[in-house]
Amino acid sequence: MTYNVVVPTFAGALSRNALELCDLIRIDDESAVPVSRFRIESSHGTCDFPVGPGKYKTALLLFYWAVLYGRPEYFISTPMLGDLQRYYGDALIADAHRPTTDHKALHFLVGHSPAVKLYFRPNLRDHLVSERTVEDVIRHGWARYNALRPGAPEPLLRQAIVSFSEGVEHGQIKVMNSGPAEDWPSDVWASRVLTLMQRLGNES
């Protein structure tokens, strides 16, 4: 496990996984994904999909891949298929293999040799950071401490807290007891991580 980088885990339900991507790419909700439409070509055919209700979650994942790999046109690789399985879950993926499925975009994605092309919105900003560090996420979480609520999902912040704790435990993150308190990772920040964890409490 890497303790200094936060990447999506896709360990929950689809709505939770979409929220994790929203956190990662720094948008308020899935409807803000900066993709107007996308095209998928595979053994199941070729189709264009306008992005709107029912397609936001797919556009989120496709946009994440586009920025991660640095291009709006790409083939779906084996690791990406693993992402796809975890993001949607086994039941949806199984349903998507049926010719009569209602999940048409996903049906094209699970075909052989899928290729994707994204069309971005005109107001696209370079706001996505494909790999955010634990420090970055925790500093951002601390800056909005007063806005955090017990039981809030906060998947990215929760993952950063776990990564920090495990990194310290395994000796990959060494807490400093001297120097400026704002330096990372000082004992002050270790205390703040604990405070953030207590603030969030159990997930709702």
Q: What is the mean pLDDT of each run of 10 residues along the chain (204 residues)?
A: 64 92 85 93 95 96 83 90 95 95 96 92 57 82 91 78 88 88 93 95 67
Q: Which residues, other chains included, contact 135 with Cβ-Cβ below 8 Å and sequence gap of 6+?
A: 4, 184, 185
pLDDT of amino acid 98: 95
pLDDT of amino acid 2: 44
Of residues 196, 200, 204, 201, the one with CA closest to residue 165: 196
Residue pLDDT, tens place only, 121-177:
865 655 444 556 788 889 989 999 998 888 877 777 887 898 899 889 988 889 999
pLDDT of amino acid 131: 57
pLDDT of amino acid 133: 78
pLDDT of amino acid 134: 84
pLDDT of amino acid 1: 37
Q: Which residues, other chains included, contact 67 with Cβ-Cβ below 8 Å and sequence gap of 6+?
A: 25, 128, 130
Under a CB-based contact definition with an 8 Å cutoff, are residues 46 and 39 in contact?
A: yes
Which tokens hold the place of 30? 């899935």
Q: For residue 50, what are the β-bridge partners? A: 37
